[in-house]
Amino acid sequence: MASIEEFKQEVRSWVEEALPAELRVGNRKNLPREALSLWVDALAARGWITPSWPTEYGGGGLDRKHAAALMSELKAVRAPIIGSFGTSMLGPTLLEFGTEEQKQEFLPPISRHEVKWCQGYSEPGAGSDLASLQTRAVLEGDEYVITGQKIWTTGADKADWIFCLVRTDPDVPKHDGISFILFPMHQDGVEVAPLTLIDGSADFSQVFFDGARAKAKNVVGPVNGGWTVAKRLLQHERSTDGGSEGGLSGAQKETLVQLVKREVGLENGVLADPAIRQRLAAQELEAKALRLTMRRAGEEARAGQTGRDIGSLGKYRWANMVKSEQDIAMLAVGTQGLGWDGPGFEGTQLDRTRAWLTTRADSIWGGTNEVQLNVIAKRVLLIPE
């Protein structure tokens, strides 16, 4: 394998060719469709949507350092990073728990960004207490018949498949009767009802199952042993989206000072205000401290010195950090950040209000802040209950 420096050079030359200027704007909404689709194909052809997965499943076969170098080069030119529930959550879980047949069937389409997945975990009575889930799956021949309801299912209205937690044995302690199963969304017996959020978007839905069918061979891990699989997937969710160095460096591609300069400008004196300067400085320090903490934690975890739940620590601090980052940006914008609709506000100001609202959810998804603190206490600090 090439040295890291040689590899970075190779990535830079390739990116020069493969990435048009119009896409060098990071992960914005409404990127030009055709250019984006060519970019996805170009990445997929090299296995670089899932760079660390084995090549036989469509990955790039890179080791951790080369995969990290690739990501940092892509982020440096503000290339759109192509990620999904499939790449960050289901894929790594299947690599560990899937049968060979499941890996062959499901991983390559994920690594080509061809199939959209959603996550069927939460239910109206099972969020933080996830193991209380009631959605039933009953075996009929070589299929499970599924009945019940999920909620807050991100992207369910666009998803092709769902990875879902179901109760396969109601007569045992709650953690022992759960299975992790995969099935298609486009079938009779699956109904999706989108929910509109406070920021105006409708990214998630309620999903109703009434006799939906899943092949029995698509249970991942042992039947009734899904809780272990579910927890591992949550570890991946928490570390890719905030609890890892990679997640953080992605989130930090624009510093807060840059963000305030871009959105507020310099002319109104906001950056000269000592109160704001102090908060900006504290925020930048927090971001730097967190990056270093996660780098140390990553090394300790790789050396087997800590458990894999270290991602909860990163997710918890990251959620607080992005929320307070948006609080500062709102403070800087002043009353122009209070717009919701109608005249008197520019489009960017309305976006600011919505961005602030959106980050309120960061301390909820993937387990609330309180739940992360419980996990850190129990499985990182090993404090007895």
Ligand X SMILES: Cc1cc2nc3c(=O)[nH]c(=O)nc-3n(C[C@H](O)[C@H](O)[C@H](O)COP(=O)(O)OP(=O)(O)OC[C@H]3O[C@@H](n4cnc5c(N)ncnc54)[C@H](O)[C@@H]3O)c2cc1C
Residue positions annotated with a catalytic role: 237
Strand partners, 147: 136, 210
Question: Could you give the CA distance from residue 81 to residue 6 in angstroms, rounded to a whole number?
Answer: 22
Shortest distance, position 194 Cβ to ligand X, whole Å? 13
Q: Which of 368, 376, 377, 379 binds ligand X (CB under 6 A)?
A: 368
Among 134-142, 287-295, 300-308, 358-366, which window interacts with ligand X (CB under 6 A)? Answer: 358-366
Shortest distance, position 187 Cβ to ligand X, whole Å? 19
Structure-block tokens of residue 276: 């704001």
Among 6-14, 119-127, 139-147, 223-231, which window interacts with ligand X (CB under 6 A)? Answer: 119-127
Is 276 buried (19+), middle (13-18) or exposed (0-12) by CB count in 10 A? middle
* Cα torsion 64, 69, 61, 1: sign: negative
Among 180-188, 225-233, 257-265, 362-370, which window interacts with ligand X (CB under 6 A)? Answer: 362-370
Q: Which of 52, 111, 119, 306 binds ligand X (CB under 6 A)?
A: 119
Q: In 10 A of CB 197, how many CB atoms?
A: 16
Q: In 10 A of CB 222, how many CB atoms?
A: 12
Beta strand 178-184 pairing with 117-120: unpaired
Query: Residues 151 to 170: which contact ligand X by CB under 6 A?
Result: 152-154
Q: Which residues of 147-162 are buried (b: 16+ CB within 10 A; e: fewer)?
A: bbbbbbbebbbebebb
Q: In 10 A of CB 49, how many CB atoms?
A: 25
CA angle 385, 289, 328 (to 5 degrees): 100
| Number of residues this chain uses to bind ligand X (CB under 6 A) | 19
Kindly tell me which of 58 and 311 has the beta carbon lying closer to ligand X. Answer: 311
Shortest distance, position 248 Cβ to ligand X, whole Å? 19
Shortest distance, position 362 Cβ to ligand X, whole Å? 8
Rg (CA), the chain: 22
Shortest distance, position 84 Cβ to ligand X, whole Å? 12
Kindly tell me which of 37 and 132 has the beta carbon lying closer to ligand X. Answer: 132
Q: Which of 110, 264, 319, 371 binds ligand X (CB under 6 A)?
A: 371
15 contacts ligand X (rule: CB under 6 A): no
Shortest distance, position 156 Cβ to ligand X, whole Å? 8
Q: Which of 52, 122, 336, 372 binds ligand X (CB under 6 A)?
A: 122
367 contacts ligand X (rule: CB under 6 A): yes
235 contacts ligand X (rule: CB under 6 A): no
Shortest distance, position 15 Cβ to ligand X, whole Å? 31
Q: In 10 A of CB 228, how many CB atoms?
A: 14
Interface mask toward ligand X for 179-218; x: CB under 6 A:
-------------------------x--------------
Q: In 10 A of CB 235, how many CB atoms?
A: 22
Is 360 buried (19+), middle (13-18) or exposed (0-12) by CB count in 10 A? middle
Q: Which of 330, 338, 364, 377 binds ligand X (CB under 6 A)?
A: 364
Q: Which of 6, 254, 299, 370 binds ligand X (CB under 6 A)?
A: 370
Phi, psi of 170 (to 5 degrees): -85, -5
Residues of this chain that bind ligand X (CB under 6 A): 118-122, 127-128, 152-154, 204, 361, 364-365, 367-368, 370-371, 374
